[in-house]
Chains A and B, each alone.
Chain A
């Protein structure tokens, strides 16, 4: 029923386009359907939301004397012990690029009215989305469970000046070979949690405005954890929504719904726009959180 009425609507639209006036809505000044145009404007508004988040990240980062470095924070990899800075997140980026590429293929097959092609490439795109979400689940789990970063507590930080570590009784801490335990300005550190409490070491700075003072090398800026979870979470939620919508569109395509519409699988094109946007946002999340 719905299919025939849509096809009918297209025929009347085509008939009107010949002699209708612009005020009757007969002509499309942007040569794009209503749905596609509105998808573009939705994406503009969504871009502003993400931009707001990322600009907030920048403003808070500028306002804080110290900020953890990405290559120190994001350096774990599944099943491999040790320090592999940025490797895992690069793989995540590749997963999204691949799923974007398979999405382009799905749209192209749609234009050729090739039902099996559309379903095949959409299926690969969904797999890519699910893989990305799994990677993100691993990344979050490591940060929360192993490293104890939450939205309100951030154990990652950097030293604001050169200095030496002290024992809890304020005597100088030494390495096993007898040398002083020193650190340099800008060195990253991660505080460890024991029995539900963070162990906060005493330090004595030897440079900078606090030179000579005994202080605690405290927790990192709270905003780092909060912004990380909110922004990557918001992006991850977009990926999740995308996977759900893609699944619906794939089932519709497989059922032959869009064959009847005879409009070059425009629904696939519209959800494709959304999916590419998710990849586009990741370009900037990747830039802001992991590269700068």
Chain B
């Protein structure tokens, strides 16, 4: 219930939150525009290695924003450990979801040509089966053995 903080401290937290979230957002957007060559004409780093560094920073900033919102705006920092764990631990499942589905998407991407060829492939019809091939001989008994 946030009873551990004075009213002044609470108001200070609100101001700090506004500053942190606002500044990070502005920094993110400035880096994004800079990386794509909008701020300084001719300078971009959205290819190859630079792009990975860029993505790492963006994901890092966003995770920090998420942490701040959950722990201070939603008061997770002051909750009982069991509650914190029961909410945060399940989200770790998403780590595997991200790995698995991105791998899958990548594989679709690499097989596009193969998939296209397969879709356009004309399949020769199978020769027709001899008539009566699957019919059981007349002598076959389908009666089940009676128990006892």
A residues adjacent to B (C-beta < 8 A): 29-32, 37, 40-41, 43-44, 47-48, 51-52, 55-56, 58-65, 69-71, 85-86, 90, 93-94, 97-98, 100-101, 103-105, 108, 111-112, 186, 264, 272-273, 276-277, 279-280, 283-284, 286-287, 290-292
Closest 3 A/B residue pairs (Cβ):
A59-B105, A62-B105, A63-B108
**Chain B residues within 8 Å of chain A by Cβ, number:** 51
Partner of A44, one of B13, B26, B87: B87
B33 on the interface (CB 8 Å rule)? Answer: yes
Interfacial chain B residues near A47, Cβ < 8 Å: 91
Interfacial chain B residues near A58, Cβ < 8 Å: 98, 101-102, 105
B126 on the interface (CB 8 Å rule)? Answer: no
Contact B73 A31 (CB under 8 A): no
B residues adjacent to A (C-beta < 8 A): 1-3, 7, 10-11, 13-14, 17-18, 21-22, 25-26, 28-29, 32-33, 36, 38, 47, 55, 58-59, 62, 65-66, 69-70, 73-74, 79-80, 82-83, 86-87, 90-91, 94, 97-98, 101-102, 104-109, 112
Q: How far is the CB of B106 from chain A (nearest CB, A)?
A: 5
CA distance A286 to B25 in the complex (A): 10
Contact A93 B25 (CB under 8 A): yes
CA distance A29 to B85 in the complex (A): 13
Q: How far is the CB of B38 from chain A (nearest CB, A)?
A: 6
Contact B29 A90 (CB under 8 A): yes
Q: How far is the CB of B43 from chain A (nearest CB, A)?
A: 14
Using known A-B contacts A98-B18, A104-B14, A108-B10, determine if residue A71 contacts B66 with beta carbons closer than 8 Å. no
Contact A108 B98 (CB under 8 A): no
Interfacial chain B residues near A44, Cβ < 8 Å: 87, 90-91
Partner of A51, one of B26, B80, B86, B94: B94
Partner of B1, one of A40, A41, A100, A111: A111
Interfacial chain A residues near B59, Cβ < 8 Å: 287, 292
Contact B32 A291 (CB under 8 A): yes
Contact B79 A30 (CB under 8 A): yes
Interfacial chain A residues near B36, Cβ < 8 Å: 69, 71, 85
CA distance A51 to B92 in the complex (A): 12
Using known A-B contacts A94-B22, A101-B18, determine if residue A287 contacts B38 with beta carbons closer than 8 Å. no
Residue in A closest to B10 when the chains form the complex, CB atoms: A108
Q: How far is the CB of A289 from chain B (nearest CB, A)?
A: 12
Interfacial chain B residues near A30, Cβ < 8 Å: 79-80, 82-83, 86
